[in-house]
Structure formats: C-alpha cells, structure tokens
A and B are shown apart, each in its own frame.
Chain A
C-alpha cells in the first residue's frame, strides 16, 4: 500500500506549476472492529478508508481540498479545487510548505506485519474471552456494555514540491471492556483496556480485571462534601489533563495570543518537579511517529523544564512567523491543512507508586474518572472544572467511593499546586503518557 500512496502523492506534486508550491498527503487505513455481546459477535466491521489532501500555495495565498478516495478523477478535482480556493485566501508572506531541515527521521519500529496475518477466528476468540473474563472477574458484574477487539493498519505518504518525501506505516490493536456492576438498585461502570502494536502484546486478562475493579470499587458511592483538598489523579486522568495542558504550548495558540504561556518563556509557571516534554520519537509512546504532517522528522521538544517555560511546538508556518522554525509538530489528517500540536507528551516521572503517594495524604480524593473535559475546561482562560468519580483518601489510605461531584481549579494553579508526581508510568492509547499526579487546593463540589 505504501508504494501506491507514494505514487499518488508523487503524481500530484509532479503537476506543480512554476511559482506554485504543492503538497500532497495520502493516507490509507484498514480497520477491523469486533464487538461481542453475551458470547456472540454483535458487530463485525472490516473497512478500508483512504484519501488525499492537496495544499497549494501561490502568491502567498493558500488553498486546500481533499478527496476521500484515491480515484484519479477525484484527486484531479481536489487539485483544481485547491488551486481555486487559493485565489480566495488572504495573502500571508509566512505561508509556505515545509523545507528540508536536515533532521533525520528516527527509525521507529511501529509496523508489525504479523498483525495482518492473525486469523479472524483468533481475534473473535480474544474478544469473546475478554467479555467472559470481565463477567467472571467479580460476582457483582451485572452486564457488559461493550467488549471489543479492534485493530488498524495505517499507511501514509507526504510529498512536497520543496523536495520532501516521507512515508510510514504503523499497526495498532486494542481491547476495551466496559463493565457494569450492580448491588441492589445501584449500578456503577468501569472500563479496562489493553493496547499493542502486535496481537501478542494484548493482555485481555488485565483489561477484564481493570474494568471489573473500576466498576465494583464505585459501588456504594455517595456524593462527597464540598471542600478544598488534595486530589490524586489516576494515570488515565493525568494523561487527559496533560493533553489539554499541551494545547497551550502550540505555536498557533502562542501566535494568536490565546496561550496561557505565550509571554512567559523563561518564567516559572509550575512546581520545580515539573518537566514536560513532547517527544514522538519515543517508541513506547502509543502516538509515536517518526515524521510529522508536513513530512519533517519529529523530535524531542521540551515544554516546561523544572517548572520554567522552555519552548513551544511549531509547524512550518508558525515557526516562520515566530522567527524560529518548525519543531516537526505539524498534525493533520488528509482532510485538513496542517495544524500544530504536541503528539506524545510526558511528565518526567517521580519514583513512588500511587499507594505511596496516597500514604502521605490525610484527607483527599483519588480521581478515577472525569467527564465533561470538553465542556468544563477552557484552555484560553485556564478555568478547569470537570465531573468526577473516585475514592476518598483518609489517613493515607483509600476509603469510601464517591461520585456525582466536580473538581475545579485553574490550569495555572494546578501546575503550581502539584504535590508529587508518581513513578507509575502507563502508556495509554492517547497523546499523553499517564502516571499518578497529586495536586493540592482543588475544590471538590458535592453536597
């Protein structure tokens, strides 16, 4: 497939007219999704999708169009549309394609050819076993909302008239289980998952156990009192928090004046233990990638170093406009122009386990899950407020479960109120790495 995509983008770019900068991005993905319910396959999807995005820059104006197929006629139409769209763009001297910058792409072993050869029966069996194991994990498991196996094989290629040529392939497979636990009239839910690049990396037993544990430990949960206290974010929650925070380090947010940290380079914004890095070249990161959406090599970018704002991430446009350069951080699909963002964020870990973190806290809450991140967190103002559930922490140990409350603070304050970073690193199917994080002075709003 990679050869086909390389040919497709090469063919588009070869049509560049004098004075015209042309970029083509082609993506192909093959996905399998198997959902089981009560021991039977409920849904089985096998799908291939593909598309090409064409970007044209001429006379400092940019136009873009995409086609959701590799059909040559549709690609020609996209090229014509992109050219036409360019005539309506505002002229901007900083517009342009990425230029080769001499940074070599790191070789990452993200493609496991064996995944494509795994017999369908084995995938089905694994999903059925996941559901069975989740049910069997605890007597109080009353049902499974969904138990699913999914995999994807993605290939992409970029070519530019500035001479960049890059293509990559990667595989991924996932198991997810959503369990319901019941006691009396009460129901609680919990999820568990396992991810890998190859089939044999999946651990269904762990996913089942996690789902059952998360659901059952919330049984009997009550609404907590309203008070300000210390929270410990579970690795999964920390990863979501970091993903939002990372948005403030995007070169675009900086340029447009809505980054919380735009004018604060070199200033202390966080607790001195905080070092935040975006590094898509770490192979263990689920979102690892060797090249960015404009065809440049990805690289390690430090965002916060020991509490001090160190740098921001850029694509070629924001890099040029800020007088710096691309940090290999263009993010996109074939249906969009390149944005800019962090791809694989992580905090430098501490050394202790979650239980050890908790052992130092007299009164707090362990946050197992949050909801409404999209509606309750404003990365521009920094206001942070989400729904939550979890377990009270009393005298250094987890105690009764709590639910239907919110946790609130501001992103700025949470960074300085960090108490301790855990050493329990978890690689999650997200753009940030998880670990436990203890933060003080957070308002829990309940009764």
Chain B
C-alpha cells in the first residue's frame, strides 16, 4: 500500500432510510470530503464525530428562579490514527473549509507516514434500537418547567421549619450526533436526557445538614409523569432533617450493609474503572491479566449495560458509532471480560464492546462505563440487616474515586446509620469510606433480592464527564474502613 493515497468515499445511495432522526449535523458529502482530507497524508484510520447539542436548564435557589439558561454547542471532532499515534482536532466551524482545516490539523498531529490507498465505501448503519422519547422537552413551554421548580421548593419547605434553604435544578438536553469513519461506518443518534434534583439545607442546634434527591433518565418530559417532584422534594428535605440528629460516624474497619440502588457507585469505583481496557493495556489496573480468574465472591455478577431502557447511561450508539450492548464483566465471581473502545479493540483484533464515549465533540473518546450494576442475589434484605450485630448501614452513597493501579477507592456516604443488634438505629454525619477493590469484591458475603437502579451520575475520567447509571441489590461487605471521627 506504500506510496498510494488512501481514499474514502461515500457509498452510492442504497435507498436505506436515514439512520438519524431529524436533520444531519453535517451533510454526508461534506463528511466524505473531510475524511478524504484527514487521510490525504496517510492516516490508517480517520473519524469525524459531529455533535449538535441544545440544552436548557432552570435553577431555583433562595426562594426564587435564579437562572434560566439555554445553550447550544455544535461542532466536530476529527481523529486520525497512524500506528499507535492518535491525532485529534476539533472545530466549532462546520463549514467545509472549517472541517478541512481541522482534518489537516488532526492528520498533521498523527504525523502519518506514507500511508496506503484503499477505497472505502461508507455504509449507513441501521441502528436496531433507537431510543424514542414521548414528549420532546423542547416542545414544553418554559413556564411549565419553571413551575416545577417552585412546586418542589414549596413541598420541601413544608416538610419542616428547620429547612432553611432549597435548591432545585431542572435540565434537559438533546444531543444529536453523527459518526463517520474510514472503515465505512456512518451512523447517528439522537439522545435526549431530562434531569431533576432537589437539595435542601436543614439548620438546627447541631449546625447545618444537607439532603438531596435526584432523578435523571433518557426520557423526555414524560419524566414527570413517572416522578412526582413534590415527592422528590420531600425525600430530599427528609434526609436533611434526619441528619440534624446525626452523630459523628465511627472510625475503623467494620461490616457495612449497603442499601438497594444506593450502592452501585461502590462497584463503579471498586472494579468498574479497573476493567476499562485502556487502563488494562497500560498495566494501570489491578485487574490486568486476570480474565478467567475468580476475582469476586460467589454469586457476584457485574454487568455494564448501555441498553437499559431509560437509564441515565443509556444510548443507541456510542460516540464511536458502535451500538450499545450489554456486557457481563464478572459472572458468579469470575472475571469474564473488560470494556473496550474502538482503539483498544482494534489493537487486540476484537470488536469494541460499545464503551467508546466522550464528553463532547471537543474530546477524544475513551473506554467508559454506561449503566453498571450488580445482579440480584436471593436473600431477603431484612435478614441481611438482622444478621449484622454491629456495623454501618448506608442508604445513599455519594460520589467516589479510585486509583486503578492500586485498587484503593473511596466513596462518600450521604445517608447512613449505625447498625446495632441487627437493627438500623442512629443517623450518621457524612464521611468517606475507603477500601481496596480486589479485596472488597471477595468480601461481599450477603446479596439481597431487591435490585434497584440508583441515582443518575456523572463519571469523570481524564477531565471528561459522561452520564452513567449504576445499581445494586442490598448487600453486605464484611470489612470496610469508615472515615468518621468517633472512636
């Protein structure tokens, strides 16, 4: 192939239906010439990712509508791969000239050698699964959105006189993406997300405490047919009020029972990140070279599933054009596979697992989780608590963080209680827990039958945030270190 110029061209129209709903972000003939430009100096792989994202959000704070914001982000990211080098450029200028400039920059960055000629036909991918929403948020009057905020504020304040501050956030986004690459792929997706959160501050003799509740789904405005904002507000307020009675969390290592739904972030941190193929390839994960080995207790099954209907980390295609799929990572304690993006999969000669994601067109894709959850066990959750003479019960986890190379991870407890004599008792002030991923996986000794998904999350990696979901049944870990101040 040396000395020849690689060509990329658009497949003749096959009469296939357009894979995207709505208009193209970039017209196919412009995509074609952009990829041509990207390959002109000898790229082995070139890709154009175009995005047009509209968002609206409302923020209610301090008893009033503080902010109503509309945003529009539109642009394209172009990457060119030569050998092990990826060149990347992005632009908000979607004219043919603007795209060509970015394509040249990406190609120059990849510093391609001689390259080869190969005529590549572009094939429209039929996306088997599209995610349709019932009510486009864009079709809803702003006043209707604003009214939700005030309703939640009132409901939260009605819970108790000790509620001194309420913050309510509504947001929706519609993200139309298009991916075309030199393997001939042309695909698109139209991703709608709607989110609502209430945070409360309660004040009492012991100072201030906070409580929060949030919902987010790949639904449109029908989110509010499924959730009652007043109920969400009361839950958030109740959490803050309960914590006014909270005592400092204990310190030291003890059994921890994590409630349904709330515990997904534990696995996201304890092993999810460590199963991302980019970290595996660099030896920066404690789970490298362990496929087929027993890495977790019996009965532990961990799945990452981008196809879970309506969940926050859901999509039809990932940000490399690959259809979302359900991937079993750990099955009955045995490590089955890692998560893959295009680049890592290509190197290993295997298919991507649909985990190539990016925050926006201005970012390179990498291996990311979608909806990560632990499958149900078969125990009654009440028995798990009753059989724990002493420990901590965590109803809601906050965020977490992991060092994949050592496996050490932390996560916050935002709603937690002491367990005394097999009963949930006193609420605890906030704090972090710390554990080691490979150790914790083997220390899960009880698994409930009450699986539930948790709250919508944003997972950060290398400075990029993407929406993710997680979930668990009630479960017990025999020993975790609680970062409180009480003896």
Whether a CB of chain B sits under 8 angstroms from the CB of A169 is: no
Query: Are the C-beta atoms of B142 and A381 separated by less than 8 Å?
Result: no
Query: Are the C-beta atoms of B484 and A385 separated by less than 8 Å?
Result: yes
Query: Are the C-beta atoms of A46 and B432 separated by less than 8 Å?
Result: no
Query: Are the C-beta atoms of B400 and A372 separated by less than 8 Å?
Result: yes
Q: Tell me the nearest residue of chain B to A226, going by C-beta.
A: B252
Whether a CB of chain B sits under 8 angstroms from the CB of A201 is: no
Interface residues in A25-50 by Cβ distance below 8 A to B read 37, 40-50
What separation, in Å, do the CA atoms of A12 and B61 have in the docked complex? 29
Whether a CB of chain B sits under 8 angstroms from the CB of A78 is: yes
Could you say which residues of chain B place their CB within 8 Å of the CB of A66? 69-72
Interface residues in A77-100 by Cβ distance below 8 A to B read 77-78, 81-82, 84-86, 88-90, 92
Could you say which residues of chain A place their CB within 8 Å of the CB of B75? 49, 68-69
Partner of A88, one of B143, B210, B482: B143
Q: Which of A103-111, A273-281, A302-310, A404-412 contacts B (4 or more CB under 8 A)?
A: A404-412
Known A-B contacts A258-B165, A386-B410; A375 and B71 likewise in contact (beta carbons under 8 Å): no
Query: Are the C-beta atoms of B110 and A44 separated by less than 8 Å?
Result: yes
Partner of A443, one of B84, B106, B207, B485: B485
Query: Are the C-beta atoms of A408 and B74 separated by less than 8 Å?
Result: no
Query: Are the C-beta atoms of B431 and A408 separated by less than 8 Å?
Result: yes
Q: Which of A57-65, A341-349, A356-364 contacts B (4 or more CB under 8 A)?
A: A57-65
Query: Are the C-beta atoms of B74 and A69 separated by less than 8 Å?
Result: yes
Query: Are the C-beta atoms of A387 and B207 separated by less than 8 Å?
Result: no
What separation, in Å, do the CA atoms of A348 and B266 have in the docked complex? 39
What separation, in Å, do the CA atoms of A380 and B243 have in the docked complex? 13
Q: Tell me the nearest residue of chain B to A92, going by C-beta.
A: B64
Query: Are the C-beta atoms of B434 and A49 separated by less than 8 Å?
Result: no
What separation, in Å, do the CA atoms of A404 and B269 have in the docked complex? 14
Known A-B contacts A180-B405, A447-B252; A62 and B67 likewise in contact (beta carbons under 8 Å): yes
Total interface residues on B, CB under 8 Å, equals 80
Query: Are the C-beta atoms of B434 and A45 separated by less than 8 Å?
Result: no
Query: Are the C-beta atoms of B85 and A382 separated by less than 8 Å?
Result: no
Main secondary structure of the interface of B (DSSP, over half): strand
Could you say which residues of chain A place their CB within 8 Å of the CB of B93? 69, 71
Give a binary string over B123-165; 1 marks a CB under 8 Å from any A CB, 0 the rest: 0000000000000000000110010000000000000000011
The smallest C-beta distance from A139 to any residue of chain B, in angstroms, reads: 17
Interface residues in B280-303 by Cβ distance below 8 A to A read 282-284, 286
Could you say which residues of chain A place their CB within 8 Å of the CB of B106? 46
Whether a CB of chain A sits under 8 angstroms from the CB of B87 is: yes
Interface residues on A, range: 35 or more
What separation, in Å, do the CA atoms of A443 and B364 have in the docked complex? 41
Whether a CB of chain B sits under 8 angstroms from the CB of A376 is: yes
What separation, in Å, do the CA atoms of A84 and B432 have in the docked complex? 43
Could you say which residues of chain A place their CB within 8 Å of the CB of B481? 223, 404-406, 445-447
Give a binary string over B192-235; 1 marks a CB under 8 Å from any A CB, 0 the rest: 00000000010100011110000000000000000000000000
Whether a CB of chain B sits under 8 angstroms from the CB of A17 is: no
Whether a CB of chain A sits under 8 angstroms from the CB of B92 is: yes
Query: Are the C-beta atoms of B91 and A48 separated by less than 8 Å?
Result: yes
Partner of B73, one of A68, A88, A378, A380: A68
What separation, in Å, do the CA atoms of A145 and B278 have in the docked complex? 10
Whether a CB of chain B sits under 8 angstroms from the CB of A183 is: no
Could you say which residues of chain B place their CB within 8 Å of the CB of A42? 84-86
Give a binary string over B460-487; 1 marks a CB under 8 Å from any A CB, 0 the rest: 0000000000000000000001111101
What separation, in Å, do the CA atoms of A43 and B286 have in the docked complex? 24
Could you say which residues of chain B place their CB within 8 Å of the CB of A84? 142
Known A-B contacts A64-B68, A68-B73, A68-B74; A145 and B282 likewise in contact (beta carbons under 8 Å): yes
Query: Are the C-beta atoms of B484 and A445 separated by less than 8 Å?
Result: yes
What separation, in Å, do the CA atoms of A174 and B276 have in the docked complex? 26
What separation, in Å, do the CA atoms of A408 and B68 have in the docked complex? 38
What separation, in Å, do the CA atoms of A45 and B105 have in the docked complex? 9
Whether a CB of chain A sits under 8 angstroms from the CB of B424 is: no
Binding site for A on B (CB under 8 A): 58, 61-62, 64-75, 83-93, 105-106, 109-111, 142-143, 146, 164-165, 201, 203, 207-210, 243, 249, 251-253, 279, 282-284, 286, 362, 364, 398-401, 403, 405-406, 408-412, 429-436, 481-485, 487
The contact sample of 12 A-B pairs, CB cut-off 8 A, is A42-B85, A49-B75, A84-B142, A92-B64, A372-B434, A374-B399, A375-B412, A381-B210, A403-B408, A408-B251, A445-B252, A445-B482
